[in-house]
Amino acid sequence: MNNQSYYNTTSKEGEQLEISTEKAKSQEELVLDLFQKNEYHNFTPFEVLESLGLKAPVTSIRRAMTNLTKAGKLRKLDIKRRGDYGEPNYTWQLVR
Protein backbone atom coordinates (compact mmCIF):
# COMPACT_ATOMS: atom_id res chain seq x y z
CA MET A 1 0.00 0.00 0.00
CA ASN A 2 0.88 3.64 0.04
CA ASN A 3 3.77 4.68 2.30
CA GLN A 4 1.55 7.37 3.76
CA SER A 5 -1.79 5.71 4.44
CA TYR A 6 -2.58 7.95 7.39
CA TYR A 7 -2.27 11.72 7.21
CA ASN A 8 -1.41 12.92 10.71
CA THR A 9 -3.34 16.19 10.63
CA THR A 10 -4.06 16.04 14.36
CA SER A 11 -0.40 15.60 15.41
CA LYS A 12 -0.85 12.19 17.03
CA GLU A 13 2.25 10.59 18.50
CA GLY A 14 3.47 7.21 19.69
CA GLU A 15 0.95 4.42 20.08
CA GLN A 16 -2.01 6.53 18.93
CA LEU A 17 -0.20 7.35 15.69
CA GLU A 18 0.63 3.66 15.16
CA ILE A 19 -3.00 2.62 15.74
CA SER A 20 -4.33 5.23 13.32
CA THR A 21 -1.75 4.30 10.67
CA GLU A 22 -2.61 0.59 10.90
CA LYS A 23 -6.33 1.35 10.76
CA ALA A 24 -5.85 3.42 7.59
CA LYS A 25 -3.80 0.63 5.96
CA SER A 26 -6.52 -1.86 6.88
CA GLN A 27 -9.19 0.36 5.29
CA GLU A 28 -7.16 0.57 2.09
CA GLU A 29 -6.89 -3.23 2.01
CA LEU A 30 -10.66 -3.60 2.52
CA VAL A 31 -11.41 -1.05 -0.21
CA LEU A 32 -9.02 -2.70 -2.66
CA ASP A 33 -10.50 -6.12 -1.88
CA LEU A 34 -14.01 -4.81 -2.65
CA PHE A 35 -12.88 -3.50 -6.02
CA GLN A 36 -11.00 -6.73 -6.81
CA LYS A 37 -14.09 -8.81 -6.03
CA ASN A 38 -16.18 -6.49 -8.24
CA GLU A 39 -13.64 -6.05 -11.01
CA TYR A 40 -16.03 -4.58 -13.60
CA HIS A 41 -18.11 -2.42 -11.25
CA ASN A 42 -17.53 1.21 -10.38
CA PHE A 43 -18.26 2.71 -6.95
CA THR A 44 -18.64 6.13 -5.35
CA PRO A 45 -17.04 6.56 -1.92
CA PHE A 46 -20.51 6.37 -0.34
CA GLU A 47 -21.21 3.08 -2.14
CA VAL A 48 -17.88 1.67 -0.91
CA LEU A 49 -18.71 2.68 2.66
CA GLU A 50 -22.15 1.07 2.43
CA SER A 51 -20.85 -2.09 0.74
CA LEU A 52 -18.19 -2.60 3.39
CA GLY A 53 -20.57 -1.84 6.26
CA LEU A 54 -17.91 0.22 8.01
CA LYS A 55 -18.60 2.73 10.75
CA ALA A 56 -16.14 5.24 9.39
CA PRO A 57 -16.47 8.74 7.96
CA VAL A 58 -16.78 8.88 4.19
CA THR A 59 -13.65 11.05 4.22
CA SER A 60 -11.67 8.00 5.39
CA ILE A 61 -12.95 6.03 2.42
CA ARG A 62 -12.11 8.94 0.09
CA ARG A 63 -8.57 8.98 1.53
CA ALA A 64 -8.18 5.25 0.96
CA MET A 65 -9.49 5.55 -2.61
CA THR A 66 -7.20 8.50 -3.32
CA ASN A 67 -4.18 6.60 -1.99
CA LEU A 68 -5.10 3.55 -4.08
CA THR A 69 -5.48 5.80 -7.13
CA LYS A 70 -2.04 7.33 -6.55
CA ALA A 71 -0.65 3.79 -6.20
CA GLY A 72 -2.10 2.91 -9.63
CA LYS A 73 -4.59 0.36 -8.29
CA LEU A 74 -7.81 2.36 -8.85
CA ARG A 75 -8.85 4.75 -11.61
CA LYS A 76 -11.18 7.73 -11.15
CA LEU A 77 -13.85 7.81 -13.85
CA ASP A 78 -15.86 10.65 -15.37
CA ILE A 79 -19.06 8.84 -14.33
CA LYS A 80 -20.94 10.44 -11.43
CA ARG A 81 -23.80 9.29 -9.20
CA ARG A 82 -25.68 11.09 -6.46
CA GLY A 83 -24.23 10.58 -2.99
CA ASP A 84 -25.76 10.66 0.49
CA TYR A 85 -25.87 14.46 0.58
CA GLY A 86 -27.61 14.75 -2.78
CA GLU A 87 -24.46 15.91 -4.56
CA PRO A 88 -22.90 14.19 -7.57
CA ASN A 89 -19.96 11.94 -6.68
CA TYR A 90 -17.33 10.57 -9.02
CA THR A 91 -16.93 6.82 -9.35
CA TRP A 92 -13.77 4.70 -9.30
CA GLN A 93 -12.90 1.38 -10.90
CA LEU A 94 -10.17 -1.20 -10.45
CA VAL A 95 -7.21 -0.80 -12.80
CA ARG A 96 -7.01 -4.02 -14.82
Domains of the chain by start residue, with CATH: 14-94 (1.10.10.10)
Q: Do residues 26 and 60 lie in contact, with contact meaning Cβ atoms separated by under 8 Å?
A: no
pLDDT of 9 reads 58
**Do residues 74 and 68 lie in contact, with contact meaning Cβ atoms separated by under 8 Å?**
yes
Read off the pTM: 0.75
74-82 and 88-94 as β-strands: parallel, antiparallel, unpaired? Answer: antiparallel
- Position with higher pLDDT, 27 vs 92: 92
Residues 56-68, mean pLDDT to the nearest whole number: 93
